[in-house]
Amino acid sequence: MKIGEVARRTGVAPRLVRYYEQQGLLTTDRAANGYRTYSDDDVERVSRVASMVRAGIPTRLIKVLLDMEEAQAADFPTCPRTVAEMLASELEGIEERIACLTRSRDTIRDVLARTEHAALVSEAGAR
């Protein structure tokens, strides 16, 4: 499939799909005419990368995480000390963001629950 179809299926702009490729987060094949061609696996990967980016994970770390997942899937788990230190540092930041989001969610939920709009809390939870 072409980049426009990937963009449509993932909600990621073609420009970002090309950026992901430039960053080494995605590898694509090229047709004889030079156009990139994508598979369903590429669509899944673009969606996953976009989700991680939205979660605040920097692309340099996304690359490391994807590479490590591939190594683990191939039964070749390895983690150099420098990578482990970077992951530990990022993990601390992720935990802080999760704690902040959790507090914000709880505050919003509590405020809504105490108003005439309490039904919106159960509607949001159902999504």
What pLDDT score was predicted for residue 21? Answer: 94
Model confidence at 116: pLDDT above 80? yes
Q: Helix, strand or coil for residue 16?
A: helix
- Highest mean pLDDT: which range of 19-23, 73-77, 80-84: 19-23
Q: Give the integer Cα–Cα distance in Å for 49 and 66.
A: 9
Whole-model pTM? 0.69
Report CA Rg, the chain: 19
CATH of domain 1-78: 1.10.1660.10
Token pair belonging to 59: 């692309």
Beta bridge partners of 37: 29
DSSP per residue, 19-46 = HHHHTTS---EE-TTS-EE--HHHHHHH
Q: Which amino acid is located at 6 in the chain?
A: V
Average pLDDT over residues 57-61: 88
What pLDDT score was predicted for residue 56? Answer: 84
